[in-house]
Amino acid sequence: MFGQVMLASYTSKKQLVAIKKVPKQPSKGNFTCIMKEARLLKIARGCPFLCHSHATFQSELHAFFVLEYAGGGTLYKVIEDQGSLPMKNIQ
């Protein structure tokens, strides 16, 4: 699900985090997608292949996911720049 991602400081833990801001759009039916993403992040908390979720909260207009910060850009950008990834790099 697409949203805006911002870099923030988690002061109590003294670390950088990514905050994903997703607009709630009932007319597009994305509330179900937001809930699925929140549930998936909770279930997959120990998975080394996904960013760790620190917290989830919401405002009237947006859902927010506080996630582990993983610098270096997006996987899409890496694949776009390199064409493809060697098997040894993705195992």
End-to-end CA distance of the chain: 25
Distance CA 3, CA 22 (A): 5
pTM equals 0.77
Shortest CA distance to 18 belongs to which of 9, 7, 4? 7
The superfamily (CATH) of domain 4-90 is Phosphorylase Kinase; domain 1 (3.30.200.20)
Shortest CA distance to 12 belongs to which of 82, 50, 70, 66? 66
- Domains of the chain by residue range: 4-90
How big, in percent rounded to 5, are the helix, strand and coil portions of the chain? 30, 30, 35
| Average confidence (pLDDT) per 10 residues, the chain, 91 residues | 87 90 84 90 88 92 94 84 83 65
